[in-house]
Chain A
């Protein structure tokens, strides 16, 4: 196995030349063999275009997470404008292959349902996986959909404009009365070509672009980005304990704010108003705590490579500790109301079930995966250097039932765990009594990056594994910056959850996943 993969720890640099370049068949065999083990799953699959001198036009990289080794297994193969599809043998690659086909015009031959994901042109003029001409207009979600024929079947189309304040996306339900036989989800309305904007970076704008890729995961994106930069930079300073404390607190505050918002929204969807109203208010409190540390409620531009823009002093830490403890009491009351209300639980239980086997096949990640019994949590599986020892002793919280209730319960339990981590870290910080200094040279400091290298940095964002892969060229600039948002891997899970489910249960299933549209659209 050793010559098939190279091992890389989270946020460490590896030389591109060290990554095994296999023949396609060996590559496929290695991938299938490696993912058979429970501890391993696909984290990302993407293509990088090669310079003209290279033997093949593209390199296809596969990254597998191995939580026993706490490392990633990386391998690659060379491909041209077509190659035999992997999705038939490894269904979790289906969306990845659709993405590759759309981005580069590379056709994965034999892909079971090859259609665009984001509805944009390939980066190679004249190469299009669907042979669309340059003069053809490409409109979001104008594509083929599964259909059902019959007297009593009907099709319901929802979106892209929705009744609530949510992002645009298109959902097609094939129904028989109130029952959904199949749901197809089509996105792409928010495609901004984020990966293209990052090419030849890093620039001062890079971090801002990434933080706005999915605004509700700003901190996780920033953490993945700064970790990748730190890994590739020649500067080898270990992050201080105080810095790790601040990073962890910000990341957990983001998780708490979003989990609270989700549980409130779930309560609202089953018309259970008290929890909805309380959680709406309480979420604001956690955002304000983030604002106390970051100067803005979503934690933008606070994290920087090797430090933070504002730092943290003991007075701030004390303020947040007492504040969080007060709000936590309110939160406990609000959630107890929901989890003690039989009529609400009746709506959540046995709704939108994704069994463990299906979840593994789909490749679910994060809280949705843990709610289906997959014990993956990047915070413990792949410790991020920037987070130090904050998660020592933490274990992934799982529940096997895979229904909406399970996804709510995971959030409930993770809220408890996240609070404990924050309380512990803040108490330690206060006991130490030393402030974390602000970094003042952030407008000029862009470290030199190692040439021809790759750094994989994975953060457990509140939705799941947020993967950033930075590949540099000979000048130490980004030759490829690949982002795999956890939502990208989970959308099909939502579609699966709706099979044989009542169409009226779609809103709570959707809310229980609460996936990012913009994070997927990039």
Chain B
């Protein structure tokens, strides 16, 4: 029941997170910034427009946004909240969870290549390169979660880590390190600064934005919505990692998670305001630093346990 409420809230509230990030960025820049609900307006505006496809594109371009959206929605349906596992969950669903995002990405990459534009080709190549490195970090994080887990390997049990499992004091360090590593993954996967700049209009520097330059109307609305939902879901994952287990009652739990996600949104806004974007050649180093952090977490955990 509470899981369903939370899932519905996720689907509706996801674009709000982008609005929060933009508001925080605007605050740091001394501007008013776009409205909190701007992405909703944009999505509705785009949905009302006609779909325009370039002459060179094929059916791939038409179906890929839907594939992307479906993958992200199913992935978010796999997310549990503490104490309330997803009805779709099963042993090992964490692999499916991350690969659904991978499916969404490969759909976007195919659609980008399908347009035959040089910009989109560059965007696709960058996306493929960086996501391949990120996968390494993701699996290190999964390894850590599996080590620490008391039960099976479903998302519900793996994310049921919290302070209660590791204990307080020094023993919490590995968990914090993993949280940091996942934060870096989150920023990279969701094309945020310092990896990508969602605000830029410069085609030559784009990653994600370059891939969707040729999409218009409802397709673009779907892509924007899927990106927002992905950000929401991964932020939810991050909240699960750091929030202590709370089963006071279902309503409070749902509220706590949503507040947690909003706080993470605000935090992303702060990061984007105080950091410039990294050079492309340095991005693999940044991602690999997340890998190192995750690896240290595993080592520390082993030390503390024995």
Find chain B residues with CB under 8 A from A277 CB.
29-31
**Most chain A beta-carbon contacts within 10 A, residue among B119, B125, B203, B272:** B203
* Cβ–Cβ contact B276 & A156, under 8 A: no
* Cβ–Cβ contact B279 & A274, under 8 A: no
Q: Mark B183-207, 1 if CB is under 8 A from A, else 0.
A: 0000000000110010111111100
A48 within 8 A of B: no
Q: Mark B19-33, 1 if CB is under 8 A from A, else 0.
A: 000000100111100
* Cβ–Cβ contact B204 & A507, under 8 A: yes
* Cβ–Cβ contact A347 & B205, under 8 A: no
Assembly CA distance A341 to B273 (angstroms)? 11
Find chain B residues with CB under 8 A from A150 CB.
none
Find chain A residues with CB under 8 A from B281 CB.
502
* Cβ–Cβ contact A503 & B273, under 8 A: no
A292 within 8 A of B: no
Assembly CA distance A237 to B272 (angstroms)? 58
Q: Mark A453-477, 1 if CB is under 8 A from B, else 0.
A: 0000000000000000000000000
Assembly CA distance A154 to B118 (angstroms)? 8
**Most chain B beta-carbon contacts within 10 A, residue among A281, A346, A504:** A504
Find chain A residues with CB under 8 A from B35 CB.
none
B277 within 8 A of A: yes
Find chain A residues with CB under 8 A from B9 CB.
none
A506 within 8 A of B: yes
Asked, given contacts A343-B194, A502-B281, A505-B279, whether A273 binds B205 with beta carbons under 8 Å apart, the answer is no
* Cβ–Cβ contact A271 & B279, under 8 A: no
A270 within 8 A of B: yes
- A166 to chain B: closest residue by CB: B201
* Cβ–Cβ contact B201 & A164, under 8 A: yes
* Cβ–Cβ contact A178 & B276, under 8 A: no
Find chain A residues with CB under 8 A from B280 CB.
178, 502, 504
* Cβ–Cβ contact B276 & A270, under 8 A: yes
Assembly CA distance A277 to B27 (angstroms)? 11
Find chain A residues with CB under 8 A from B204 CB.
156, 158, 503-504, 506-507
* Cβ–Cβ contact B272 & A273, under 8 A: yes
* Cβ–Cβ contact B197 & A271, under 8 A: yes
Assembly CA distance A502 to B205 (angstroms)? 10
Chain B interface residue count, CB cutoff 8 Å, equals 32
* Cβ–Cβ contact A347 & B201, under 8 A: no
* Cβ–Cβ contact B202 & A270, under 8 A: no
Assembly CA distance A351 to B281 (angstroms)? 12
Q: Mark A334-364, 1 if CB is under 8 A from B, else 0.
A: 0000000101101100010000000000000
Shortest Cβ distance from residue B111 to the other chain A in the assembled complex, whole angstroms: 19
* Cβ–Cβ contact A504 & B275, under 8 A: no
Find chain B residues with CB under 8 A from A346 CB.
276, 278-279, 282
* Cβ–Cβ contact A502 & B30, under 8 A: no
Assembly CA distance A270 to B202 (angstroms)? 11
B290 within 8 A of A: no
* Cβ–Cβ contact A157 & B276, under 8 A: no
* Cβ–Cβ contact B273 & A274, under 8 A: yes
A272 within 8 A of B: yes
- B207 to chain A: closest residue by CB: A504
Shortest Cβ distance from residue B252 to the other chain A in the assembled complex, whole angstroms: 36
* Cβ–Cβ contact B272 & A271, under 8 A: yes
- B199 to chain A: closest residue by CB: A271
A155 within 8 A of B: yes
Assembly CA distance A481 to B192 (angstroms)? 52
Query: Which residues B266-306 have CB closer than 8 A to chain A?
Result: 272-282
Chain A interface residue count, CB cutoff 8 Å, equals 32
The binding surface of chain B is classed by DSSP as: helix
- B275 to chain A: closest residue by CB: A343
**Most chain B beta-carbon contacts within 10 A, residue among A276, A341, A343, A503:** A343
Shortest Cβ distance from residue B188 to the other chain A in the assembled complex, whole angstroms: 14
Assembly CA distance A341 to B276 (angstroms)? 8
* Cβ–Cβ contact A274 & B118, under 8 A: no
B122 within 8 A of A: yes
* Cβ–Cβ contact A273 & B279, under 8 A: no
Find chain B residues with CB under 8 A from A505 CB.
279
Shortest Cβ distance from residue A182 to the other chain B in the assembled complex, whole angstroms: 15
Assembly CA distance A370 to B82 (angstroms)? 61
* Cβ–Cβ contact A507 & B118, under 8 A: no
A269 within 8 A of B: yes
Shortest Cβ distance from residue A499 to the other chain B in the assembled complex, whole angstroms: 16
* Cβ–Cβ contact A276 & B276, under 8 A: no
Shortest Cβ distance from residue A495 to the other chain B in the assembled complex, whole angstroms: 15
Find chain A residues with CB under 8 A from B200 CB.
269, 271
A181 within 8 A of B: no
Assembly CA distance A499 to B205 (angstroms)? 17
Find chain A residues with CB under 8 A from B202 CB.
163-164, 269, 507
A278 within 8 A of B: yes
* Cβ–Cβ contact B277 & A270, under 8 A: yes
Asked, given contacts A271-B193, A271-B197, A274-B30, whether A503 binds B276 with beta carbons under 8 Å apart, the answer is no
Find chain B residues with CB under 8 A from A178 CB.
122, 126, 280
Q: Mark A135-167, 1 if CB is under 8 A from B, else 0.
A: 000000000000000000011111000011000
* Cβ–Cβ contact B205 & A344, under 8 A: no
* Cβ–Cβ contact A156 & B277, under 8 A: no
Assembly CA distance A154 to B200 (angstroms)? 23
Q: Which of B28, B118, B125, B194 contacts A273 (CB 8 A)?
A: B28
Assembly CA distance A273 to B277 (angstroms)? 10
Task: Give the A-binding residues of B (Cβ under 8 A).
Answer: 25, 28-31, 118-119, 121-122, 125-126, 193-194, 197, 199-205, 272-282
Could you name 28 residue pairs across A and B whose Cβ atoms are closer than 8 Å?
A154-B121, A155-B118, A156-B119, A156-B204, A163-B202, A163-B203, A164-B202, A178-B126, A267-B276, A271-B199, A271-B200, A271-B272, A271-B275, A272-B276, A272-B277, A273-B28, A273-B29, A277-B29, A277-B30, A343-B194, A343-B276, A347-B277, A502-B279, A502-B281, A503-B204, A504-B205, A504-B279, A504-B280
Other than the given A156-B119, A343-B278, A504-B205, 11 more pairs (CB < 8 A) read: A156-B118, A178-B280, A267-B276, A272-B275, A341-B276, A343-B275, A344-B276, A346-B278, A346-B282, A347-B277, A507-B205
Nearest 5 A/B pairs, CB to CB: A277-B29, A344-B276, A271-B277, A271-B197, A272-B276
